[in-house]
């Protein structure tokens, strides 16, 4: 009896335990939809947080880059202009292009010659000083050779430029005075000698450079040769300067001569104008053909006076008298049609009196063009200048 109750109690306990186990299984069954939703939500949150982190990182990087750019600005191209200073004498070399200086006036080209010669002298002196400096310690290095070569090249360039300018002047202004020509030739000869001196320095430098490149010790003769070439170049530069003084004196003399001639022309013009002011006709033509012949005579006298490019007192008196005779005949027989020719005669005479030869020649050309038309209109035959012989036959 006691055993049965025990079995019953044990059975009951086992039943209760099984029931409890089933309850736990039911309660612990996973909710798949809820789990998925929760996972999606968590992923979205994670993505949002990640994007925020990325944006923050990008912003931080941009700020860092901007800060770095502020501290280290972006490099910009810089144009560097350098001016080579050879010595205290030669600080700047100016070359006027050939197509410019060939168009210069005589005065401008003379001034350019002064500048070009001065540059050549200064550059040669610089090369001589540089050569003498490197030989002062009886030792010459490759670097010193290269530095002196720069000076020599500059000297040769400036000498060639000065020679070209002088040659252009000689070609353009061959009518200069004898003093100018002599001074010009003197400078050209001295520049040629100056060029030889620069070439001697260049030759010595080339020989020294060859020895140094071959690893040979320099002989005393090589250094002495360079030093001698430098001394000769300096002496030649002094000679060029002396010749330049002669050139400048010749230029000033020519300027003074031109000013004197101009003043003489002005005085002559005033004198001639007063001289012909009161000239009256001395011959009167008998008719229009005779008047036209006088016009032709006036044109011939005026043209002849222009042949030598100078008008003297006798010539201006003869021209003015022939013009007065011709104008009187035109005014008497020519009528309104001839008044233009009479005015042309007065214009030509005035131009010759003031020594304005181009204007006088232009007036003569116009007068010659006028005469055929007027002659044809008066029934005369076609002759040079439309001038007919006087009636009654040819004059003796």
Q: What is the pLDDT of residues 343-388, one digit of tens each?
A: 899 999 888 888 888 999 999 998 988 875 554 444 343 333 333 3
The total domain count for the chain is 2
Residue-averaged pLDDT of the chain: 74
Say how far apart CA 124 and CA 157 lie, in whole Å. Answer: 10
Q: What is the pLDDT of residue 392?
A: 36
Measured CA to CA, the distance from residue 292 to residue 282 in angstroms comes to: 16
> Of all residues in the chain, what percent carry a pLDDT higher than 70?
68
**Of the candidates 228, 263, 298, which is a domain's last residue?**
263
Return the axis-axis angle of helices 220-275 and 178-213, rounded to nearest 10°.
Answer: 160
Same domain, 250 and 296: no
Task: Looking at the structure, tell me whether residues 252 and 293 fall in a common domain.
Answer: no
What pLDDT score does 311 carry? 83
Q: What is the CATH number of the domain that holds 117?
A: 1.20.1420
Is residue 115 assigned to a domain? yes
Kindly state the helix (H) or strand (E) to which residue 371 belongs, with its residue range: helix 357-377
Last residue of one domain, picked from the residues 214, 230, 263? 263
- What pLDDT, in 10s, does the model give residues 153-163? 999 999 999 99
Report the distance separating Cα 157 and Cα 159, nearest Å: 5
What number is the average pLDDT over the span 266-292? 80
Q: Is a pLDDT exceeding 60 seen at residue 325?
A: yes
Per-residue pLDDT tens digits for 122-145:
999 999 999 999 888 888 888 989
Report yes or no on 293 lying in a domain.
yes
pLDDT of residue 303: 92
315 in the same domain as 228:
no
Query: 249 and 115: one domain?
Result: yes
Helix (H) or strand (E) holding 279: none
What is the band of 33 on the pLDDT scale with cuts at 50, 70, 90? very low
Is the pLDDT assigned to residue 290 strictly greater than 70? Answer: yes
Distance between CA atoms of residues 280 and 197, nearest Å: 72
Any domain includes 4: no
Q: For residues 156 and 211, state if they share a domain.
A: yes
The residues, ordered by sequence, that sit 6+ positions from 76 with a Cβ below 8 Å of its Cβ are: none
The yes-or-no verdict on residue 64 having pLDDT over 50 is no
- What is the model's pLDDT at position 76? 32
| Inside any domain, residue 192 | yes
Distance CA 185, CA 182 (A): 5
Q: Could you tell me how far CA 138 lies from the centroid of its own chain?
A: 44
Residue 265's pLDDT is: 58
Most confident of 52-56, 77-81, 341-345: 341-345
Residue 338 CB contacts under 8 Å (≥ 6 apart), including other chains: 291, 330, 331, 374
Position 211 pLDDT exceeds 80 = yes
180: Cβ–Cβ under 8 A, 6 or more apart, which residues? 250, 251, 254
Q: Say what the pLDDT of residue 254 is.
A: 80
Give the DSSP letter string of 25-55: HHHT---HHHHHHHHHHHHHHHHHHHHHHHH
Residue 331 makes CB contacts below 8 A (sequence gap 6+) with: 338, 339, 342
If asked whether residues 139 and 257 sit together in one domain, one would say yes
Q: Using CA atoms, how far apart are residues 67 and 118, in angstroms rounded to an integer?
A: 57
Has residue 2 got a pLDDT over 80?
Answer: no
Instruction: Verify that 185 and 224 share a domain, yes or no.
Output: yes
Residues whose CB is less than 8 angstroms from the CB of residue 344 and which lie 6 or more positions away in sequence, other chains included? 363, 366, 367, 370
- Answer yes or no: is 53 within a domain: no
Give 3's pLDDT tier (boundaries 50, 70, 90): very low
- 93, pLDDT greater than 60: yes
Residue-range definition of the domain harbouring residue 295: 288-386
Greater model confidence, 229 or 9: 229
Q: How many C-beta atoms surround the C-beta of residue 192 within 10 A?
A: 12
Q: At what angle do helices 288-305 and 339-353 cross, to 10 degrees?
A: 20
Q: For residue 79, what pLDDT is reported?
A: 30
Residue 81 located in a structural domain: no
- Is the pLDDT at 17 greater than 70, yes or no? no
Of the candidates 211, 203, 84, 228, the one whose C-alpha atom is nearest the C-alpha of residue 141 is 211
Round the CA-based radius of gyration of the chain to a whole number and report it: 54
Q: How confident is the model at residue 16 (pLDDT cuts 50, 70, 90)?
A: very low
- Please check whether residue 328 is in contact with residue 353, taking contact to mean a CB–CB distance below 8 angstroms: no
Q: Is residue 166 part of a domain?
A: yes
Is the same domain home to 302 and 344? yes
73 within some domain: no
Percentage of the chain modeled with pLDDT above 90: 26
> Within 13 A of 32's CA, how many CA atoms are on the CB side?
0
The residue to which tokens 């080209």 are assigned: 109
Structure tokens that stand for 95 in this block: 């070359």
CA–chain centroid gap for 36, Å, is: 87
CA distance 102 to 165: 9
Over residues 318-329, mean pLDDT = 90
Q: Do 348 and 255 have their domain in common?
A: no
Give pLDDT, residue 378. Answer: 43
145 and 233 inside one domain:
yes
Is the domain of 231 the same as that of 361? Answer: no
Report which DSSP code applies to 385.
G
Which of the given ranges, 149-153, 254-258, 370-374, has the highest pLDDT on average?
A: 149-153
> How far is Cα of residue 170 from the mean position of the Cα atoms in its chain?
21
Residues 309 and 240 in one domain: no
């Amino acid at each position: 009896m006691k055993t049965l109750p025990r079995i019953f109690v044990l059975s009951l306990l086992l039943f209760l335990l099984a029931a409890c186990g089933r309850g736990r299984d039911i309660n612990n069954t996973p909710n798949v939809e809820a789990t998925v939703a929760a996972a999606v939500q968590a992923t979205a949150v994670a993505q949002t947080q990640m994007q925020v982190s990325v944006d923050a990182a990008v912003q931080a990087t941009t700020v860092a880059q901007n800060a770095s750019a502020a501290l280290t600005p972006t490099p910009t191209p810089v144009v560097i202009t350098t001016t080579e200073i050879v010595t205290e004498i030669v600080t700047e070399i100016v070359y006027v292009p050939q197509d410019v200086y060939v168009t210069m006036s005589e005065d401008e080209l003379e001034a350019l010659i002064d500048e070009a010669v001065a540059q050549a002298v200064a550059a040669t002196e610089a090369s001589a000083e540089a050569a003498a400096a490197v030989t002062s310690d009886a030792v010459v290095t490759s670097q010193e050779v290269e530095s002196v070569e720069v000076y020599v090249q500059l000297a040769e360039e400036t000498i060639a430029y000065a020679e070209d300018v002088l040659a252009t002047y000689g070609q353009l202004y061959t009518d200069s005075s004898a003093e100018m020509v002599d001074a010009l030739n003197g400078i050209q000869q001295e520049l040629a000698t100056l060029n030889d001196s620069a070439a001697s320095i260049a030759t010595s430098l080339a020989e020294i450079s060859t020895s140094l490149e071959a690893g040979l010790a320099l002989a005393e003769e090589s250094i002495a040769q360079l030093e001698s070439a430098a001394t000769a170049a300096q002496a030649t530069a002094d000679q060029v300067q002396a010749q330049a003084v002669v050139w400048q004196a010749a230029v000033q003399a020519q300027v003074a001569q031109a000013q004197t001639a101009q003043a003489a022309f002005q005085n002559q013009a005033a004198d001639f104008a007063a001289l012909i002011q009161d000239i009256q006709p001395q011959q009167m033509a008998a008719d229009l053909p005779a008047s036209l012949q006088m016009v032709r005579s006036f044109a011939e006298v005026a043209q002849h006076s222009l042949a030598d490019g100078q008008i003297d007192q006798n010539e201006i008196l003869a021209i003015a008298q022939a013009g007065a005779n011709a104008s009187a005949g035109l005014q008497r027989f020519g009528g309104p049609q001839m008044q233009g020719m009479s005015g042309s005669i007065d214009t030509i005479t005035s131009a010759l009196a003031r020594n304005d030869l181009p204007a006088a020649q232009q007036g003569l050309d116009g007068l010659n063009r006028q005469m055929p038309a007027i002659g044809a209109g008066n029934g005369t035959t076609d002759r040079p200048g439309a001038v007919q012989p006087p009636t009654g036959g040819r004059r003796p």
